[in-house]
Amino acid sequence: MKVLVTGFEPFGGENTNPSWQAVHRLPDVISGAEIIKAEIPVVFEKAGLVLAQSVKAHNPDIVLCVGQAGGADALEVERIGINLIDARIPDNDGNQPIDIPIHEDGAAAYFVTLPIKAMVERIRQAGIPAKLSYSAGSYVCNTLLYEALHLAEQSYPQMKAGFIHVPFIPEQVADKEDTPSMALSDITKGLQAAIEAAVCGNEIHVSMGTLQ
């Protein structure tokens, strides 16, 4: 089995992006699956293209995209990607599309195809805060999630895809009062746990009452 895990380059005036830092630190094999890592540009018109090139090159069974969510206090496992770009800030090429679809002929939304509740539970079992999220926003993170799910539907029906948002790391919040952060080692540990759950599928027992 192959798992393609992506993280983003820095954006929004930050000098680092914990999504890529954590992905880069993942082991090369998790639960017997080969881990392939790719850095994605924070550019609307390029993110999906880079992802598609990586998928074509490696033909993964699973794609797990990871992005930064400033202000988050836990790993947020996303449930849905929507066909909308509504950029609150420009991307790294200076583009700021407002209220446009990602694909004119695409579905309004796609549900993530990974076992998200099992992933949340496994992350929590590893001692890392985690929760389900019902909105990946409308910036490049959501665009990449939607592109991954659209790509799977159109060309790779065997491929499962999903997205996890991660908090700032401590060095990013030194000048941001009352903003939560998480150690990079914990983010990496949480991502590894999520991948273990994704690889194992629904074999993990999940208590529905813990996922509110």
Enumerate the active-site residues.
Answer: 78, 141, 165
Nearest to 144 by CA among 129, 130, 163, 159: 163
Write out the H or E segment, with its range, that includes residue 162.
strand 160-166
How far is 74 from 182, CA to CA, in rounded Å?
Answer: 8
Alpha-carbon gap, residue 181 to 162, rounded angstroms = 23
Burial environment of residue 40 by CB neighbours within 10 A (0 to 12, 13 to 18, 19 or more): buried
CA nearest neighbour of 6 among 162, 139, 200, 168: 162
Structure tokens at 13: 């005036």
For 190-199, b where at least 16 C-beta lie within 10 A, e where not — what string?
A: bbbbbbbbbb
DSSP-derived letter for residue 82 is E
Give the Cα-Cα-Cα angle 136, 77, 194 (nearest 5 degrees). 145
